[in-house]
Amino acid sequence: MVKAVVLFSGGLDSLLAIAILRQQDIEVLALSIATPFNDVSKRRKELKELAKKLGANFRVVKAGREYVELVKNPKFGYGRWLNPCIDCKIYMLKKAKEIKEREGYDLIATGEVLGQRPMSQNFGALKRIEKESNLKGKLLRPLSALRLPPTLPEKTGIVDKSRLLGLIGRVRKPQLKMATELGLSGFSTPSGGCLLTDPNFSKRLKDLFSWKTKVTINDIELLKVG
């Protein structure tokens, strides 16, 4: 059986990416990366249930202090606030790649949609993310695959390209329609659980970075309080 690691945020797009692969009888590991800035740890039970609905296994990998350093000095810069979306995706894909190679999975996939986010999901950014995570030509994006160059999983036939999608842009009606057809609910809104997209928290974090050289996970937890 073909096995895939799918980055799983608990959002609609990553759920649908899992669903598309499961429809091809591909075994899926829904992999959530818990950072100090998202709500994965708090939603662990809920995320596990969402993955279970689609017949996927579920796992959480916790990001360490190195992730804080990534946020402090991102190679590819920030979004509107203190969100280093490109660097973050690269980090998560590298974690997925470690699991793929260590445990013998066949491919890695994400729920990214071409053109949905101006910074991290334009064509150039998608290719950059592939290259920097050492997955050039190998990273499958089931929701937009028909709009992108074919990947190795498609070329080798372990994934049926004709059953993938060609979504593009920020309109989410097709995804919501699919969710209704699959009976999916309880998914999070886009970027809804990331504190780095919150302007007030970002200002506090930026101030902390300005005066403390080595910011710890505990510092981040205290910053959430006030």
Q: What is the pLDDT along the chain (226 residues), one digit of tens a residue?
A: 999 999 999 999 999 999 999 999 999 999 999 999 999 999 999 999 999 999 999 999 999 889 999 999 999 999 999 999 999 999 999 999 999 999 999 999 999 999 999 889 999 999 999 999 999 999 999 999 999 999 999 999 999 999 999 999 998 899 999 999 988 877 876 655 799 999 999 999 999 999 999 999 999 999 998 6
Cβ distance 167 to 114 under 8 Å? yes
> CA Rg, the chain, in Å?
17
